[in-house]
Structure 1
Amino acid sequence: MVRIDAAAYACRWQGVAPSAKGLFALAGIVAAWISRSPGVLALLALMSALATLAGARVPLRTYFAVALAPLGFLSLSCLTMVLTPATGGGWQWTPSLLPKVSVIALRSLAVMTAVLGLMLTTPMPDLLLLLRRLRAPELLLDMMALSYRMLFVLRQAWDEGSTAQAARLGHRGWRQSWRSMGLLAGQMAVQVWQRASALQAAADARAWQGSLRFLPASFPNARREVALALLAGAMLLALALGDWLWA
C-alpha cells in the first residue's frame, strides 16, 4: 500500500482529474470484456500498461512489484484450469483447453492493467473524491478512509517495534527473529486497537456527524483532461467493438 501511494503521488498524472483517469480505466475494462480474440486482448493490456508506464511515468520496477501478486494469482488460476483430474488418480495436462484459458488469461490481464493504471496514478484522497461524486455510500467511504489511515499507523508501529527489537539483539539468528516477530505481532494488535479507540474518541469529541470530509483538490484542466480521456477510451472501445463484430 505504501508503494502504491508513493507511486501515485510521484507520477506525472498526479494532478490529472480523477474523473479522467477513472473514465480511461473504465473504458479499458469494458473493452476487455467486449473483445474476444487473444491478439486484441493482448494489445489492450499493452496499451493500458504503456499509458501507465510511458504516459504517467510510473517506474517499471514499481509497476511489476505491485503487479506481482495478481500475476501470480492469475498464473496459478490458469494452471488449475488446464490441469484436470486423471482417471487413475493425480492430474493430467489438457492441451485442448489452452485456447479458452488463453483468452481468459489475456482478458484478466487487460482488466488488471486498466485497474493498475488507476491505482498507481490516483492518490487515495482523489479516489475518495471521485467515489463521493459518484454517490458511493458514505459508510463505505468512511471505512476506506479509516482503513487507509490505519495502514500507515500499523506500518509506523511495526517499524518502531522492529527497530527497538533490533537494538536489543532481538533479530540475532532465524529462531530469535521469528520469536521477535511473533511477539511484535501480538503487541501490534493491542496497539492498533488502542489507536483506533483514540481516533473514535477524537471524532466523538469533535461532534462527528457520520461522514469524514476532506479539503477537495482543484483540477483547473479537468474538462480538457476528461475530453482526452474520452477520446482515448473511445479508441479502446472502437478496437474492442471491431474485434467483437469481426468475430
Structure 2
Amino acid sequence: MRPKWKAGADMNYKTAFISMLTAMLALLGTGCAPQTIEEPPAPVEHKQEEHDITLKIDGSTLIPDVTSSIHFDYMEGLTVRQALESQLIQLTSDGKGILSVGDVALDTTLEWGVKLNKQDLKPEDWNTKLKKGDVILVYVKTVSSEGDLTGQQAIILTVNHGVASGGERLQFVKRYEDNITVRDLLRMSGIVTFNLNNKQIIAVNGLQPGMHEMWVLKVNHKELKENGLEMRLKPHDNVQLELIRM
C-alpha cells in the first residue's frame, strides 16, 4: 500500500524546493552577469599620402600625347625653376623660357606657359620657393594671348636622327594653316637647311648626312617622291625626317 502525503507536508516540500531553486538561479545569474568590456580604441585611419609636389603638362588638343602628370617629393628650398629642370623640360639658354617639353618644340606663334596653383608665373618668378602640396602646370598657349586652343588643329614634324646619334628624336608642332606645304613646314621649323634652290635638304638641326647616309622624307609613314615637298598638308598630318644608312 503506497504511503499518502499530507497536504501540508506537500506544500512545505514544494515551497522549500522553489526557494532552493530560486537561490541557485540567483547565484548563477550573479556569476554569469554580463561584464562591461572595454572596446579597443578605433584604429586611426591613415590617409594615403599624396605626393608633395605635382607637375602637370597639358598639350591641349594640339599635342594630346604630351599631356601627363608627374609627382615628386618635396625638398626644402626647392624652387619652381629647379622643379622644371628636374623633369623632361628643357629651358632656353637664357633660362627665360621653355625650349621643349619631352621632345616637343612649338612654332613661333605658340609657347609653353607656367602656372603655380592656377596662377600665371612669369619666368622672373620661377625662383619662387615651393611648398608642400603645390601644383605646377606647364601648358601650351599662344604668344600674343591666352587664347583658347581647344579644338585647334596641328601638324607635326618628327625628326629621327636614327643610328647617327643613338636614335635621338624630336618633334616640332605647328598650328594648321590652309594650303601649307611640306616645304613650308620644314622651313618654318627653323631646323631644316635647304640648298640654294630649296629642293634638297642639306642638314637637319645642324646635322649633315655622312657619306653613306641620307635624309628620308615621309608623310604619315609614306615616303615622298622627288616632288613631295610641294604636297599640301592636312590637319594632324605628321611629316617625318629620318636619317638612314644607304
TM-score (normalised: structure 2)? 0.20
Larger strand proportion, structure 1 or 2?
2
Structure richer in helix, relative to its length = 1
Specify which structure has the bigger relative contact order, considering alpha-carbon pairs within 8 angstroms and separated by 6 or more residues: 1
Which protein has the larger Cα radius of gyration, Structure 1 or Structure 2? 2
